[in-house]
A and B are shown apart, each in its own frame.
Chain A
Amino acid sequence: MSVNLEPSSSVRSQKVSTLDANEAVASVAYRLSETIAIYPITPSSPMAESCDEWSAKARPNLWGAVPSLVEMQSEAGAAGAVHGMLNQGALTTTFTASQGLLLMIPNMYKIAGELLPYCFHVTARALATHALSIFGDHSDVMACRQTGFAMIASNSVQEAQDIALVAHAATFETRVPFMHFFDGFRTSHEVAKFHPLEDDVLRAMIDEEAIHAFRSRSLTPDRPTIRGTAQNPDVYFQAREACNPFYDAVPAKVQALFDKFAALTGRQYHIYEYSGHPEADRLVVAIGSGAETAEETAHWLNEQGQKVGVLKVRLYRPFDVAAFVKAIPATVKSIAVLDRTKEPGSLGEPLYLDVVTALVEARSRGISNFEVEPIVIGGRYGLGSKEFDPAMAKAVFDELTKEQPKNHFTIGIYEDLTHSSLEWDHTFDLEAPDVHRAVFFGLGADGTVGANKNSIKIIGGETPNFAQGYFVYDSKKSGAMTISHLRFGPRPIAAHYLIKSAQFVACHQATFVEKFDVLAYAAPKGTFLLNTPHSAETIWDHLPLEVQKQIVAKELKFYVIDASAVARAAGTGGRTNTIMQTCFFAISGILPREEAIEQIKKSIRKTYGRKGEDVVQKNFIAVDQALGGLFEVSVPKDKLNGHHRPPTVPDAAPDFVKTVTATIMDGKGDLLPSSAFLPDGTWPVGTTKWEKRNIADRLPVWDSSICIQCNKCAFVCPHAAIRSKHYDSSLLESAPEGFKSVKFRGVEGQSFTIQVAPEDCTGCTLCSQVCPAKSKADPSHKALTMEFIPEREKEIAQYDYFLNTLPLPSRTEIKADVKTSQFAEPLFEYSGACTGCGETPYIKLLTQLFGDRLVVANATGCSSIYGGNLPTTPYTTDANGRGPAWSNSLFEDNAEYGLGFRWAIDKQQDIARQLITKLAPQIGDTLVTDLLNGNARDEASIAAQRERVAALKAKIAGIEGLDARRLEDVADYLVRKSTWILGGDGWGYDIGYGGVDHVLASGADVNILILDTEVYSNTGGQASKSTPFGATAKFAVAGKHSPKKDIGMMAISYGNIYVGRVAFGAKDAQTVKVFEEAESYAGPSLIIAYSHCIAHGYALSRGLDQQRLAVDTGIWPLYRFDPRRTAEGLPALQIDSAAPKAKVGEYLRNELRFRTKPENVAGFEAYAQDLVEKRLAVLQKLAEGK
């Protein structure tokens, strides 16, 4: 297959670049700023990260100064800092999205109220409502339309860069602050070829006089003024109106700047830009990338003889009615306004309301020139990055042909409750024949996305063609699938939606064809490339029937390569990305083969050059040998002999899992209608057990003969995928073949088994690492060793028997020790956390100890993602149907949210106690007395209280009256509920610290668990106040210059807070003890839990060793501060770790994050050592009661 991509002459003459919009926008914002206040939030973080890196490298702005950045504790903090910077006359910017933007709103009013010239950039993203979504829509920006900020939108990578400049220029000229926004992910993360802006264009656009005027208004004691006064009823109102002329002037000034920009670059924009038939009868009005799709569709419809158009709204605030109506052809008879947000209960969404108002106002002002007054309908599309493609756009245009088109419609979903949705033709597609489309399926870790980004850069940079890439990731942090959508063509690519029909489909992981319908993306007569260990001769017989059928029906050319074998032969290790990339170029013919290989090698040298010539050469060999391993399969058209793809979930799964969850797992969640979901965001728990991911190559194998039954393996497992049980030996009679057991130590007649969950294990090796039992004859052999398992089916049967036939112990047997805690059922299992995650073992332990009475408030972050990201969630229930009740409110409010839980739970218990006291004569005094006294926290008391509550419920069922009915509602609260507040250090130390501090100070009986990875892990490793001195993180590229905040000591200073510092890999018994003591303490508790993380830069299989080193060097002292001890005359603090045995350097040198260039952090090791010693000395004194 070969594609002929005609060069476009206009591209050749201008400089080009191939980047995503985040980087393109950041480049403009950075060059036009002096101070930048930042805080990470997806999908805007890369802009701040780029600026931070440029600043660290002393890259100057347009005026030769290096912008300085400050990371704040929250977006609210960033907005406050920005406000201060502006009042001091500094050219300032920031970047944010979603909840972060909401936190900036109060300051946005202030900044606009003070007419401070300022432009910041928003990757528009959904807001957390019934659920969190990191993906794109306009809910966030539309929540700011009342702040007084000018709002300007861009629709593509090129536009985002260009309009960023215009927005910066406009704010200086108008004094009105600007919010520039573009679609999160769809635009922010789309990699595309565009024309970058040179400094001279920036210089020509910026009015130096306006900057001078801005500076002259700054707050300075040299010519003092006062701002931020408090005003009374006499003047506030009219003073508020004094800004009107500035707003009135904005639209014309922005248009003038657009015109000036066009003169400089040849790219003309309009504040309201009409595109379509000059005599259109139908019009779509939209903002953002969706407008481009509507425009592309309109052009096609016009080619078919229709008369339609699109009005792209770029300047949304201030809204210029005259300019708006002027941009619309007078012939328009019906208008559909598309909003990418939802305002439940409103008359319509914001743009719709504005358009309706604008038309009415235009009419009343006599500036409306429509031949007939158009009908206006509004509709919602694209929420949370829902696809909006030409088929959907066409459905909207089609709707406008109706006499009574549906108003307040939705498009792109099946809304079957109020039937708002429009139907669309799924087969409709607008891909141009000369645009080459390729879809790649990869595994997160295999480098597919990186190689594809590189291919786009090669094609974009080295050929006259335009290129575009968009990347879709799944919701798991381990074993995740990536889908890359690449387009190449001779004209700028306006298709901002996923590829439905690709001429080239590559599947870089053989197992995916067993799980996903990868060939659904293949166009007829396209090409399919599969990376598989099978040869061209044998592969056919190994394919599922569904795949075979599609290959035949679509007449696909089919190629195979064993890329892993090629990589092994070349010595490049496990990564196959450059090999697959070479095959793509060779098969697609986008570039002449030799040229493609040369370009790939050039990029290999760029990527690996620093790692040494031999690494480069090995990769060159891999590239050279790739084509030798590439074979075309002769497709046996009449031989449809494949096996059926296995069902997504087993038949035993609950109906909801089979109908809803499995559909999402299949990648077909788009097809689910609104009625499939509970309307309030509630989901059933315990669904990860139905998602068998089978991502481990090797599994732990148990040698029962040397096992010492310590249960440490189960303790450290991040995925609850290795478990232990002891049980009556007679049960072994029904055990499946190969089931292993050994005599249970200490109990006659009992057996013991360690069992791996073969389909859920991620192969992290932590269980094998921690295993202390070595063979005496061969100490290299442990009781757990990682091995390749050829017969998984047997292991599956054994796990099923272990789980479902062998009994669990009575909860009263569970004690606060490592061994018995691991006999308790984990009610947090098989999460999508990273392989070898250092956080999840703590959560698993929490559910084992208190899971049946646990209420969890979880701050946004890694733990809320692996805890609550669809399709499946890991919190589950025990045999009685009890288990953790889990919820995530926000990032910043989690401590308060959890305190709310506690307060309400306690109140409900109070009410229950009042009611049983009141109803005692009917219930019986003994039961009531026992219930009132039965609030102890140990397992036996809880079990006894549960029995009493059951008896109570039986009693009150027979009692008449409202009190008895009210008591039924709250009776279960007579059994103690355990309230835990979980989150990472970004929450606990930074954005949520105010709440954490307040909740600790409240004296409430809550437990706060900070899973401390010392960075914002979920958003990609940005520094928090927990980041240690000297560590490199994003936003601390040069190494953090301040010490880690000692949050434990801060809490200790209150005196009445239980504080525990733990590291499960260093001292597991202490970890369990701390959890138990925190829970038993009838006041606030804080646990700071060392959590190794991929953002530390070493193999997580060594995570437990690093935890030990952290403790042995004194970097992470283990302690318990228990205020109860003071009553006994003892010091509250007990240090549980021994005096340091090693220097901190031994710990630091193992992690990439501490290997910053020494010139960045002079004397860093010595300083870190000194810091550790000083902090230990303080702890020592406290422990001695001094």
Chain B
Amino acid sequence: MNLETDYLGLKLKNPLMPGASPLADDLATIRRLEDAGAGAIVMHSLFEEQINLERLAVERDVESHTESFAEATTFFPNEEDFEETCEEYLSLVGKIKETVSVPVIASLNGITPGGWTSYAKLIQEAGADALELNYYDLPSDPTKTGADVEARALDLVKAIRKEVTLPIAVKLSPFFSSLPNFVSELKNAGANGVIVFNRFYQPNINIEDLDTDSVLELSTSAELRLRLRWLAVLSAQIEGISYGVTGGVHTAADAIRAIMAGANGVQLVSALLQNGADYLGTVLTDLTKWLEEHEYDSLAQMTGTMNLKHCPDATAFERGNYLRILKSWQP
């Protein structure tokens, strides 16, 4: 079965890949993912804050103690002997490239244009094949409009576009007032694809300590529906860019649905964290088997077949669907 897919201009042998997560931090796991058949490797995100804060932290925590006491004018060997997280990331890009033959997609997470975007170039120089930009913006400023938020994202994509020739995929949250318009603007700004949707690590409230707890809750297949709807809407209307899906793909059936809705790349995280890296192979085998059983010529034949343009009941993805579901619950 020909599972090839064109994702961000990269020819992948199949659309399955680990999503941005710590899975790709360990070279042994990466090897297992490739052996399981991953079409690409997506690295965890390097955060804007990491890049910016780390630069200042060394100065604050280390340099501020130097040259103030006769007995010891320094407390560390020379600074260059330390690995900043950013450098560690860049060196990991290179190591993953050496380890696997499939494309490697690096990831930057940030919201404001600034010096840190120069890391995109370094990531390109380190050998990444594409760059995911995780635009994780939580607008809390009441003076900022929705248009401001979108404009900031577009500026950011433009700034990174200036730095690199690499394909750029923007990983989005679902919380935009008009996603199709925004995605088409992203395309104009230089994005080669969008990924729907980021899952947020939402803090919980610790009622004993009056504090917040950061908890990681894995996704379920139920979360895929939101993605399916927007893949179907977007892929039908904005062409010339790739679509990735992340959040809720746990089985081959989930993957098939996403591809039918228009996904060119399918990312798995929770399923792999739960079942191990080799599980990607299980999904791939099931996917291949399903396509064979259903006598598809290729994966490409299936891609986008259930999007808004081709879907037999397009209203299912639009407002009509709501009414239908409500009715189904009537006693």
A residues touching B (Cβ–Cβ < 8 Å)? 42-43, 45-46, 49, 52-53, 56, 134-135, 185, 189, 443-445, 447-450, 453, 471-473, 476-477, 480, 482, 573, 575, 610-615, 617, 774, 776, 779, 834, 865, 1017-1021, 1032-1034, 1037-1038, 1094-1095, 1097-1099, 1152-1153, 1155-1158
Stretch at the interface among B1-9, B60-68, B167-175, B234-242: B60-68
Partner of B68, one of A445, A611, A779: A445
Verify if B77 is at the interface (C-beta below 8 Å from A).
yes
Verify if B69 is at the interface (C-beta below 8 Å from A).
yes
Verify if B200 is at the interface (C-beta below 8 Å from A).
no
Which residues of chain B are within 8 angstroms of A443 by Cβ–Cβ distance?
68
| Interface 0/1 of B114-133, CB less than 8 Å to A | 11101000000000000000
- Let me know if A1099 and B60 touch, CB within 8 A: yes
- Let me know if A450 and B115 touch, CB within 8 A: no
- Let me know if A1032 and B82 touch, CB within 8 A: yes
B88 to chain A, nearest CB (A): 7
Verify if B211 is at the interface (C-beta below 8 Å from A).
yes
Which residues of chain A are within 8 angstroms of B69 by Cβ–Cβ distance?
444, 473, 476-477, 480
- Let me know if B67 and A1152 touch, CB within 8 A: no
Partner of A482, one of B68, B75, B81, B114: B68
B residues touching A (Cβ–Cβ < 8 Å)? 51-52, 55-85, 88, 91, 114-116, 118, 210-211
A-B interface pairs (CB < 8 A), number: 145
Which residues of chain B are within 8 angstroms of A615 by Cβ–Cβ distance?
55-56, 115
B21 to chain A, nearest CB (A): 15
| CB pairs A–B below 8 angstroms (21 shown) | A42-B72, A43-B70, A49-B77, A53-B78, A53-B81, A444-B67, A444-B68, A444-B69, A445-B64, A445-B65, A447-B64, A473-B70, A611-B58, A612-B52, A865-B71, A1020-B72, A1021-B72, A1021-B76, A1032-B77, A1034-B76, A1152-B62
- Let me know if B118 and A612 touch, CB within 8 A: yes
Q: How far is the CA of A1037 from the CA of B63 in the complex (A)?
A: 17
Q: How far is the CA of A1034 from the CA of B82 in the complex (A)?
A: 12
- Let me know if B74 and A1020 touch, CB within 8 A: yes
- Let me know if B115 and A617 touch, CB within 8 A: yes
- Let me know if A480 and B68 touch, CB within 8 A: yes
Partner of A613, one of B59, B73, B76, B115: B115
Q: How far is the CA of A575 from the CA of B75 in the complex (A)?
A: 19
A121 to chain B, nearest CB (A): 18
Q: How far is the CA of A285 from the CA of B72 in the complex (A)?
A: 33
Partner of A1019, one of B55, B64, B71, B210: B71
Name the CB-closest residue of A to B91: A1158
Partner of B76, one of A43, A46, A573, A1097: A1097
- Let me know if A1094 and B65 touch, CB within 8 A: yes
- Let me know if A134 and B82 touch, CB within 8 A: no
- Let me know if A450 and B68 touch, CB within 8 A: no
Partner of A774, one of B57, B66, B91, B210: B210
Which residues of chain A are within 8 angstroms of B51 by Cβ–Cβ distance?
612
The 7 closest A-B pairs by CB, nearest first: A444-B68, A614-B115, A1020-B72, A449-B67, A779-B210, A611-B55, A1021-B75
- Let me know if B83 and A450 touch, CB within 8 A: no
Query: Contacts A612-B115, A1094-B65 given: A1020-B71 contact, CB under 8 Å?
Result: yes
Partner of A447, one of B62, B63, B85, B211: B63
Q: How far is the CA of A615 from the CA of B53 in the complex (A)?
A: 11
- Let me know if A1158 and B88 touch, CB within 8 A: yes
Q: How far is the CA of A189 from the CA of B67 in the complex (A)?
A: 12
- Let me know if A42 and B63 touch, CB within 8 A: no
- Let me know if A1152 and B58 touch, CB within 8 A: yes
Which residues of chain A are within 8 angstroms of B115 by Cβ–Cβ distance?
612-615, 617
- Let me know if A1032 and B61 touch, CB within 8 A: no
- Let me know if B67 and A447 touch, CB within 8 A: yes
A779 to chain B, nearest CB (A): 4
Which residues of chain A are within 8 angstroms of B85 by Cβ–Cβ distance?
1155
New contact pairs (15) apart from A612-B52, A1153-B76, CB-CB < 8 Å: A53-B81, A56-B81, A135-B70, A444-B68, A447-B63, A447-B64, A450-B67, A473-B70, A482-B68, A611-B56, A834-B65, A1020-B71, A1020-B73, A1021-B75, A1032-B82
- Let me know if B62 and A1097 touch, CB within 8 A: yes
Q: How far is the CA of A1047 from the CA of B52 in the complex (A)?
A: 40
Query: Contacts A52-B77, A1034-B76 given: A1018-B71 contact, CB under 8 Å?
Result: yes
Q: How far is the CA of A1070 from the CA of B317 in the complex (A)?
A: 61
B91 to chain A, nearest CB (A): 7
- Let me know if A614 and B67 touch, CB within 8 A: no
Name the CB-closest residue of B to A611: B55
- Let me know if B75 and A573 touch, CB within 8 A: no
A756 to chain B, nearest CB (A): 23
Q: How far is the CA of A610 from the CA of B52 in the complex (A)?
A: 12
Name the CB-closest residue of A to B74: A1020
Which residues of chain A are within 8 angstroms of B63 by Cβ–Cβ distance?
447, 450
Which residues of chain B are within 8 angstroms of A865 by Cβ–Cβ distance?
71
A1065 to chain B, nearest CB (A): 17
Which residues of chain B are within 8 angstroms of A1034 by Cβ–Cβ distance?
76-77
Which residues of chain B are within 8 angstroms of A611 by Cβ–Cβ distance?
55-56, 58-59
Which residues of chain A are within 8 angstroms of B76 by Cβ–Cβ distance?
1021, 1032-1034, 1095, 1097, 1152-1153
- Let me know if A1155 and B84 touch, CB within 8 A: yes
Which residues of chain A are within 8 angstroms of B84 by Cβ–Cβ distance?
1155
Which residues of chain A are within 8 angstroms of B65 by Cβ–Cβ distance?
444-445, 834, 1094
B27 to chain A, nearest CB (A): 10
Which residues of chain B are within 8 angstroms of A774 by Cβ–Cβ distance?
210
Q: How far is the CA of A1095 from the CA of B75 in the complex (A)?
A: 5
Q: How far is the CA of A1019 from the CA of B110 in the complex (A)?
A: 41
Query: Contacts A1019-B72, A1020-B72, A1153-B76 given: A1098-B67 contact, CB under 8 Å?
Result: no
Name the CB-closest residue of A to B119: A612
A451 to chain B, nearest CB (A): 9
Name the CB-closest residue of A to B114: A614
Q: How far is the CA of A613 from the CA of B83 in the complex (A)?
A: 18
B119 to chain A, nearest CB (A): 8
Which residues of chain B are within 8 angstroms of A448 by Cβ–Cβ distance?
67
Name the CB-closest residue of A to B66: A450
B73 to chain A, nearest CB (A): 7
Q: How far is the CA of A42 from the CA of B69 in the complex (A)?
A: 11
Q: How far is the CA of A1033 from the CA of B76 in the complex (A)?
A: 6
Q: How far is the CA of A15 from the CA of B56 in the complex (A)?
A: 35
Q: How far is the CA of A1039 from the CA of B235 in the complex (A)?
A: 51
- Let me know if A612 and B55 touch, CB within 8 A: yes
Which residues of chain B are within 8 angstroms of A52 by Cβ–Cβ distance?
77
Name the CB-closest residue of A to B58: A1152
A325 to chain B, nearest CB (A): 40
Name the CB-closest residue of A to B77: A1037
Q: How far is the CA of A480 from the CA of B71 in the complex (A)?
A: 13
Which residues of chain B are within 8 angstroms of A185 by Cβ–Cβ distance?
70
- Let me know if B77 and A482 touch, CB within 8 A: no
Q: How far is the CA of A1020 from the CA of B72 in the complex (A)?
A: 5
Q: How far is the CA of A927 from the CA of B51 in the complex (A)?
A: 74
- Let me know if B77 and A53 touch, CB within 8 A: yes
Which residues of chain B are within 8 angstroms of A1094 by Cβ–Cβ distance?
61, 65, 75
A387 to chain B, nearest CB (A): 15
Q: How far is the CA of A821 from the CA of B84 in the complex (A)?
A: 42
- Let me know if B72 and A1032 touch, CB within 8 A: no
Q: How far is the CA of A42 from the CA of B72 in the complex (A)?
A: 8
Name the CB-closest residue of A to B71: A42
Partner of B116, one of A453, A614, A1099: A614
Which residues of chain B are within 8 angstroms of A482 by Cβ–Cβ distance?
67-68
- Let me know if A471 and B210 touch, CB within 8 A: no
Which residues of chain B are within 8 angstroms of A450 by Cβ–Cβ distance?
63, 66-67
Which residues of chain B are within 8 angstroms of A1033 by Cβ–Cβ distance?
76-77
Which residues of chain B are within 8 angstroms of A49 by Cβ–Cβ distance?
77
**Residue among B68, B70, B84, B91 with the highest chain A CB neighbour number at 10 A:** B68
Which residues of chain A are within 8 angstroms of B79 by Cβ–Cβ distance?
610
Which residues of chain B are within 8 angstroms of A1098 by Cβ–Cβ distance?
57, 61
B213 to chain A, nearest CB (A): 13
- Let me know if A613 and B82 touch, CB within 8 A: no
